[in-house]
A and B are shown apart, each in its own frame.
Chain A
Amino acid sequence: DAGVTQSPTHLIKTRGQHVTLRCSPISGHKSVSWYQQVLGQGPQFIFQYYEKEERGRGNFPDRFSARQFPNYSSELNVNALLLGDSALYLCASSLARGEQYFGPGTRLTVT
């Protein structure tokens, strides 16, 4: 059974551009969460979606947005990219609550 998948694996963008990251949860999981991990730090919570509704939002600016589709996959969008947005973006899926399973991440580099 496939785990959490994320695309793309790596991405290089220029300051001011926009980026879309994608995540497919484990089959049967209806909750998707997004985290940002900068080098040397633990992941920081960005968003959680459950049944296509936003259930939680971390302390990130409005440049960050997300949505969940009817098949429970999710997109994370970041507008007006800054150098500080360079990080590993992780997606996690779970049942309503409980153990969270992480994907391999998308490495975003902003130049």
Chain B
Amino acid sequence: KQEVTQIPAALSVPEGENLVLNCSFTDSAIYNLQWFRQDPGKGLTSLLLIQSSQREQTSGRLNASLDKSSGRSTLYIAASQPGDSATYLCAVEGTGANNLFFGTGTRLTVIP
């Protein structure tokens, strides 16, 4: 069964700092990997999707990388802002059924 782990569980940084969130998964047979943002008590907002054949995706200040063979992905956030404060979730879709397996998330706080 696919297991997804996110480290660290929580992170607090001063505004303007660059940061990296980590995600690891146990089964490398994935169809894609998605990074989501979740504000307290709200739904999930899709940030980036990386297909299994891709190495990275970029959107604005966000860059996500994927190393399928080692079962790792990173989300890089440049020049962090207080509005980036949220929980960031990593999810993988297997090659069989297309349900997502989620990590428990990294709670990010950006201090003004």
Contacts and interface: CB of A to CB of B under 8 A. Distances in A.
Given A33-B99, A55-B97, A99-B34, A90 B43 contact: yes
Interface residues on B, range: 20 to 34
Nearest to B104: A42
Q: Is the interface of B mostly helix, strand, loop or mixed?
A: strand
B99 A97 contact: no
Interface of A: 4, 6, 31, 33, 35, 40-45, 48, 55-56, 58, 88, 90, 92, 94, 96-105, 107
27 contacts: A4-B43, A35-B102, A40-B104, A41-B104, A42-B102, A42-B105, A43-B89, A43-B91, A43-B100, A45-B99, A45-B100, A48-B98, A55-B97, A55-B98, A56-B98, A88-B41, A92-B44, A92-B100, A96-B98, A97-B93, A97-B98, A98-B49, A99-B32, A99-B46, A100-B100, A103-B43, A107-B41
10 tightest A-B CB contacts, nearest first:
A42-B102, A102-B44, A45-B99, A56-B97, A104-B43, A102-B43, A99-B49, A105-B43, A97-B98, A42-B104
